[in-house]
Amino acid sequence: MVKRIFQGVGLLIVLALVVIAVSVVRFDKTKDELAAKYAGAPSQFIELPSGAVAHVRDQGNMQGPALVLIHGSNASLHTWEPWVALLGAKYRIVTMDMPGHGLTGAVPGDDYSRAGMVAFTHEVLQKLGVAHYAIGGNSMGGGVAAQYAEDYPGEVTALILVDAAGLPRERQPGEKIPLGFRLAQMPVLNKIMLYVSPRSIFAEGVRKVFVDQSKVTEEMIDRYYDLNLYDGNRKATGIRFRYPPTDQAVAEKLGQIAVPVLVLWGEKDGLIPVANAYEFQKRISGAKVVVYPDVGHIPMEEVPERSAADVDSFLAAALAPKAAAPVETAPVHHDGKVEIMPVSPE
């Protein structure tokens, strides 16, 4: 009788574990599952020389100046859609899901480093035939954009840094690091996250980067959740979080950036402190800083109208044709007639 009771209890425990596993284990989602929802027009999938297949949107005014935008960690190209709606009539806007993100997913060689993302972005732009462009990025994407401007100075016309990575820093007390980011850096737990990824973790992470919680919708949380479960993205996140920091190398070359630079920042960013905005300004000659009170880590989604207007004003000035310097003249006498000839700058 006792043996049968123990067997019954054991069976109940096994059943309970199975129920728990079924309720929390989440397998990767496929392109067939997610493309219809997140890759509608104008999305396209571009095969690159590296073998990666990039999820890209090339939209807006195709005759206008080009603006390339790079999203942050565990985000996707969708984070820029508010700016596309506001700026697309004037600019050609190129956005893409970075390696290990969105519907680009895993890439050959599993290179999810900052340098790898710079190379990936350059491949996309070459494939699209975009030769000169302003480039901007948010958070992780800001660090990528900064290094890109350092690596391809002949192609970049202006740089926009939005609550950007790219500066070395110590973790500060009170930082609002999302639980998902913390778990991704913890041995063992980051392995479990390959299969156990509750939606609640993504909801907590999204809410932490906004001050105005009314901007956080269930649809937005679903998007972050679904795309982070796309085939290969959770594994890529684990690899990316194990890379040693490269911010120091980027920071050391910031002074070489000679194009116009705009730095946008949410004053209440709990991930990267607003002090970094002024550090970028100090390191990049002529950089302009705009800080938004009561705004968090992603101003392009939290205050899209204000941030897009600032970008438009900045680009209008940065990309305007430079007025030619006044030409000095001197009189030259020919047979009693006076002609005005330019004076050689030599």
pLDDT in tens, the chain (346 residues): 555 554 544 443 333 333 333 344 556 899 999 999 999 999 999 999 999 999 999 999 999 999 999 999 999 999 999 999 999 999 999 999 999 999 999 999 999 999 999 999 999 999 999 999 999 999 999 999 999 999 999 999 999 999 999 999 766 565 555 555 555 555 655 556 555 788 999 999 999 999 999 999 999 999 999 999 999 999 999 999 999 999 999 999 999 999 999 999 999 999 999 999 999 999 999 999 999 999 999 999 999 999 999 999 999 999 998 755 454 544 444 444 333 333 333 3
Helices (H), the chain: 2-24, 31-38, 81-87, 114-128, 140-151, 179-184, 189-192, 199-208, 218-228, 233-241, 247-252, 275-283, 299-302, 304-318
96/75 Cα distance (integer angstroms):
11
Dihedral of CA 318/320/321/322: which sign? negative
The whole model's pTM is what? 0.82
Beta bridge partner(s), residue 261: 159
Tokens of 9: 């209890």
143/118 Cα distance (integer angstroms):
10
Task: Write down the pLDDT at residue 321.
Answer: 86
Task: Kindly report the number of other CB atoms within 10 A of residue 187's CB atom.
Answer: 7
How distant, in Å, are the alpha carbons of 127, 147, 254 from that of 151? 18, 6, 11
Task: Write down the pLDDT at residue 322.
Answer: 72
Contact 108/48 with Cβ under 8 angstroms? no
152/129 Cα distance (integer angstroms):
15
Contact 112/42 with Cβ under 8 angstroms? no
Selection from 161, 129, 130, 127 nearest residue 144 by Cα: 161
Whether CATH 3.40.50.720 fits 29-318: no
Task: Write down the pLDDT at residue 28.
Answer: 83
Contact 193/169 with Cβ under 8 angstroms? no
Beta bridge partner(s), residue 69: 95, 136
